[in-house]
Chains A and B, each alone.
Chain A
Amino acid sequence: MSLVKISGLHKYFGSNHVLKGIDLDVAQGDVIALIGRSGSGKSTLLRTINGLETIDKGELVVDGTALHDGKGDLRALRQKVGMVFQQFNLFPHLTAGQNVMLAPTVVKGISKRDAEDIAREMLLKVGLSDKFNSFPDQLSGGQQQRVAIARALAMQPKVLLCDEITSALDPELVSEVLAVVRQLATEGMTLIMVTHEMRFARDVGNKLIFMHHGLIHESGDPKAVFANPQTPELANFVGAVQMA
């Protein structure tokens, strides 16, 4: 029984056919790394999974909530799908704690007191229990990104989408964010991440998906795929990024 099931998904930006029929099954607890060149459609695919991009054709089902050809209950879908962005996107006028509390109180109608408990628990989980009252501009990039992860987790999503979440960070801050993601993975969180951290994808992921020209070009166990790419495109890509 798959948690996320995508079938025959097509997406156009105007006349540009970005996703050309994606089929993907994600099981509970899967940690999926989406890799590929810029423009291959990996971020677009990720963003369709919580409705940030509309779907022109095809079906998306997340834990029983379905979109047929892009139509369905988007808000129900989004309550099941958390998302962490490259640019953190914290709300600058709210403290770290308030950032985490906002959606549970506003969307789920949880009381302020209970939401605060959730927020403290989530901030503790990402190692920032002492930053509850800090504003985003008082935090480092790595800390902001961990707050963003806590904010997504506070909605208790079934699956967490990570869109190049370390790409905007200074190199020395990458590991603290990856450590949090690794922890989530070992706790059984279902993760789909677009990443350029190939070593991380190999070590933490249980499935690697290589996208090329809007299609899943090659996929499988990350270690096997990296060690033995079956297509010249992936071999080329792995060769280009491996050393970096």
Chain B
Amino acid sequence: MKKLSLANLDAFFAKIADKQALYMPIENKAGQLQFQRWTEGAKLSVGCNTVRSAKDFFFPQTENLVDFKVKGKEIEIIDSRTEKEDFVIFGVRACDVRSFAILDKVFLSNPVDTYYKSRREHGTIISLACTHPEETCFCRTFGIDATQPEGDVASWITEDAVYFQPQSDKGQKLLEKCGALLEEADESPVLRQKQQTKTYLDKLPLATLSTKHFENKDQLEVFNSEKWAELSEACLGCGTCTFVCPTCQCYDIRDFDTGKGIKRFRCWDSCMYSDFTKMAGGQPRLTQLERFRQRFMHKLVYFPINNDGEFGCVGCGRCLKKCPISMNIVKVMKTLEGEEK
């Protein structure tokens, strides 16, 4: 384990930012946290989680896939991708780091999504252990340890220092580059912090939330539950939950006519929208109930069925905080479970 004195934190950031882009949670104009590029003078915020998740780095909200230029009867197809630069994300929480593994299962399985893959390869993740989880946190439900995050390098911020633990070759190399600032350290302060955080985690209101009800579940049984009507009743059909979610990965591909050619772009889609998966023959889910159900079926039933039981949720609590009508995955899980009792 390596140690960096807190006084040297900016020097450490400067060292990394010297060679590659460095992003971290920084307070924005609205007083909320947002992953932003670090520049001299920017202040790392460790308060709580960011509004938008870290998936943006690998799966941006909008990206250009290909351009078409029309000249007479010829159509030229242009791959408008440019060489990606290496980047480092600091301060990713355990829940968000796990979300990358979930996204990998979607984008890196065959056929591999090369846009996503290239970003993954260029990114190095320095995760940050939580010390003050929020009431909306329930990562433990999905087997995530907020005090021991995954990632290329794991880090812990204590009162006077930052501790680093490399967890991959990429992480090892990154730390080597900053070697001069780091010193070998004893891990007892980290253990103490972990112990303290665990007492908070035990006290969280959602600490006992369990996925048991959905393990090896008959999908039709959940699908046909009568509870969906009541759950989805107040849903506005906005896309907030899906857009702040670190694991929502549905997208749409559209063409934008610039007047001089076509830009084919991919953008996040939301199952909450009325035109979700709309095809020539119409859309398969005509009511908000069906669209609402899709989101939770995907996370709690379909995804685990296709991925060895891994759920499509990491318990970050963003949807709990941001839904305009406060309907969320926790309420859905509890309601569906309660039905059986």
Do A and B come from the same complex?
Answer: no
Interface residues of A (CB under 8 A from B): none
